[in-house]
Amino acid sequence: MYKIVVAEFLAENIKRFVIEAPKIAAKRKAGQFVIIRLKDGGERIPLTIADSDNPKGTITIIVQGIGKTTKELNSLNAGDLILDVVGPLGKPSHIENFGTAVSIGGGVGTAIAYPTAVALKQAGNHTISIIGGRTKDLVILEDELKQVCDEVYPTTDDGSYGFHGFVTQKLKELIDNGTKIDFVLAIGPIPMMKAVAETTRPYGIKTVVSLNPIMVDGTGMCGGCRATVDNKTVFVCVDGPEFDAHLVDFATLERRNRTYKEHEKESLHDYMCHFDKAFEDNLVTSN
Amino acid sequence: MPELSKKDRMKIPRQPMPEQDSGLRSANFEEVNLGFTEELAKMEALRCLQCPKPVCIDGCPVEIKISDFIRLVAKGDFLGAASKIKEDNMLPAVCGRVCPQEEQCEAKCVVGIKGESVAIGRLERFVADFEREHGGSRTLEIKPKTGKKVAIIGSGPAGLSCAGDLIQMGHDVTVFEALHELGGVLIYGIPEFRLPKDIVKAEIDSLKSLGVEFQTNAVIGFTDTIDELMQSGYDAVFIAVGAGLPYFLNIYGENLNGVYSSNEFLTRVNLMKAYKFPDYDTPVFNVKDKTVAVFGGGNTAMDAVRTSKRLGAKNAYIIYRRSDVELPARKEEIHHAKQEGIEFLLLANPNKFIGDKDGWLTGVELIKMELGEPDSSGRRKPVPIDGSNHILDIDMAVIAIGNGSNPIIQQTTPELQFNKWGNILVNEETMATSKKGVFAGGDIVTGGATVILAMGAGRQAAKAINNYLNKINISV
């Protein structure tokens, strides 16, 4: 069992957890992930490690409640226990001094991009972060990134905060203004990563994305997370999760991620009904 | 009981295995074979000729004292028989179910020369089940503690059998498992209807009671490297991680939604209990009233296709490129599959998968094959028949054509030597790898094989590790 020591909402539906997992904390490198299982009968889901504190023996994960398991996870609080946390899994980010490196995070993807931004800075890069959200409240980790990066640009789709527009528009603006960019890391929703890949492609800027397919074991055993990169099949869990954005077949990834859409709806519906029922029961008993 | 003559013994027919009705069982996950009754077991045991030189033992990778345990069964001393088996095999309830006895011990049985061989596997299973249901046999003898520690990577058949032997030799043993449950392929791969998970758990519990320690969620290579294990006080390491990287067909459309590796399909259903969705959170493609094709002809293919039938598939096909005589699965599995309504499309090979506009699998283009000259495996090579392409409508596909080697140990242990397929190179006698104190066995060395061969490798490694640890003792 793994104990949650901090649980706090960063934005609506986006929660930060600090979890006691000393072995993983000591080992993990930027770009790696854990697989967690909340309880008996629970599913195994991959979550990128956002941060760690080796002396304290903790890791940080940042979770957006979308399906049943992430919503259930986000209902947990400090002191609660998670049944299984396994990792660190996957290959660490490839870090070197590229020159100027831009890390782009979309929504909760910012949490995944954060550790790599830190590592890029430590490797000597001039580090720029572009962090996007639909609206102001969904722009996360701005303060944390400002402490690390040379430049941080928040963007919002609705213009409620920072640059009004998509992260790709901000990236294009930087390029057009003559910023010499040597490396781009983009992590977020698939359409965003695809758009970043298309933005940098004409300029030949090396661009890396972290893929988020459906996984089961996370150790190469099942092949459920396979993706198409450079027209070849790769297993994201052991060959990735980071790949050359210009070679990734995003359409296949997006499509495969929809495999269990109907199941996910049913599962979430059942969960929310239980949740509502528990809530109502609670009202009845408290009355 | 009067002593039976050889002739009398030879007259007793091989006792049939009671089975769950095929109509009923194709809709449930309960075990297919129900096991011998005491009467059937005693009758079957009487068929054994008690050869002075029992050649059946030569056919057993772990050299169970077969004639000795069968003699005890005939006498009705079932617990004694269980103890006798456990001298050589810590997992008899598993082996009695999943070993290909017809190619091993039973293939050597003298009774089988003129008639049907003694049902050694069924007897082994009966004895193990009897022991479990009647409170266990005498406690196994454990040698005094040596103070040496061994790390075993992987809790599948090779790891478990090695752990069982080493703990009895007096060493401390910790088994590291990557998944959240113990048992490896016995848990995630082989379905409940062929190997109930409670039986695997009971066998693991008996290892725990002997003092074997287990750690789940430990992906060696990532969680700890092999070097770190050795630095933290383990005197030897046994790598028994299995094969564990599924092969695909490398044909067009393989990444369409609805195409699975057998590992993924079986893991979802067996380990994650997707057949109980939504009570369990993990989903699997809903095959109810759909058509499923499983590519491959081995035991895993049979497990997958029979699982899909149990999940409600209307049509469930085995598609195999050679003919029925070459099917690598056990005869019993093929027989059970046919009884359950599985259709076999033999001498057929997939060319490409076909999908709809949303990327869901809708069909597969097959080509008919004929058998040509024998290839390097000695089996006749299947050759495509030009112009025989045709399309079969399917909703789900499972690729069950074997496993390559998992790359995690290779990527994180530079001193180990591997062949070009990623299998660890070992000294065949001692199972020692190129790295001092590190041994390896099972599928990671041989490539995908059987449970019992992996167990044999585990036992062989235990002996070699014991020798190695004793030598360290002397040199200190």
For residue B358, the model assigns a pLDDT of: 92
Which of A27, A214, A221 to mutate against chain B (most B CBs within 10 Å)? A221
For residue A277, the model assigns a pLDDT of: 66
Closest residue of chain B to A21, computed from CA coordinates: B223
A71 in contact with chain B, both atoms CB, cutoff 8 A:
no
Measured between beta carbons, the chain A residues lying within 8 angstroms of B258 are 259
For residue A287, the model assigns a pLDDT of: 41
For residue B139, the model assigns a pLDDT of: 65
Q: B57-81 pLDDT, tens per residue?
A: 999 988 999 999 999 999 999 999 9
A224:B264 CB<8 A:
yes
For residue B117, the model assigns a pLDDT of: 95
B267:A222 CB<8 A:
yes
A84:B180 CB<8 A:
yes
Determine the Cα–Cα distance for residues B406 and B163; give it in Å rounded to an integer: 22
Averaged pLDDT score across all residues of chain A: 92
In this predicted structure, the answer to whether residue A286 has a pLDDT above a threshold of 70 is: no
Query: What Cα–Cα distance (Å) separates residue B31 from each residue in A24, B26, B28, B340?
Result: 39, 11, 9, 13
Which of A 82-111 lie inside 8 A of B, CB atoms?
83-89
> Tokens representing A38?
């909340």
B246:A260 CB<8 A:
no
B273:A41 CB<8 A:
yes
Would you list the DSSP string of A33-72? EEEEE-STTPPPEEEE--EEETTTTEEEEEEE--SHHHHH
Q: Which residue among A41, A217, A220 places its CB closest to the CB of B280?
A: A41
For residue A265, the model assigns a pLDDT of: 87
Residue B438 β-bridge partners: B237
For residue B359, the model assigns a pLDDT of: 93
For residue A274, the model assigns a pLDDT of: 74
Which of A222, A225, A226 to mutate against chain B (most B CBs within 10 Å)? A222
Min Cα–Cα distance to chain A from B40, Å: 39
- DSSP alpha helix (H) spans, B235-347: 262-266, 299-310, 331-339
pLDDT band for A278, please (50, 70, 90 cuts). low
Q: B219-249 pLDDT, tens per residue?
A: 999 999 999 999 999 999 999 999 889 999 9
> Tokens representing A247?
């070679």
Which helix (H) or strand (E) segment is B294 a member of?
Answer: strand B291-295
More confident residue, A168 or A276: A168
Closest residue of chain B to A256, computed from CA coordinates: B257
Determine the Cα–Cα distance for residues B314 and B342; give it in Å rounded to an integer: 10
B406:A219 CB<8 A:
yes
Residues with pLDDT less than 50, chain B: 1, 475-476
Spell out where A107-150 has E strands: 126-133
Measured between beta carbons, the chain A residues lying within 8 angstroms of B218 are 86
A235 in contact with chain B, both atoms CB, cutoff 8 A:
yes
Min Cα–Cα distance to chain A from B141, Å: 34
A224:B260 CB<8 A:
yes
Q: Which residue among B267, B279, B283 places its CB closest to the CB of A263?
A: B283
For residue A275, the model assigns a pLDDT of: 66
Average pLDDT over residues A211-239: 94
For residue A281, the model assigns a pLDDT of: 61
For residue B138, the model assigns a pLDDT of: 58
For residue A76, the model assigns a pLDDT of: 95
Q: Which residue among B223, B255, B267 places its CB closest to the CB of A216?
A: B267
Would you list the DSSP string of B357-403? TTSBEEEEEEEEEEEEEE-TTSSEEEEEPTT--EEEE-SEEEE-S-E
Here the ipTM equals 0.91
Q: A179-190 pLDDT, tens per residue?
A: 999 999 999 999
Average pLDDT over residues A260-284: 75
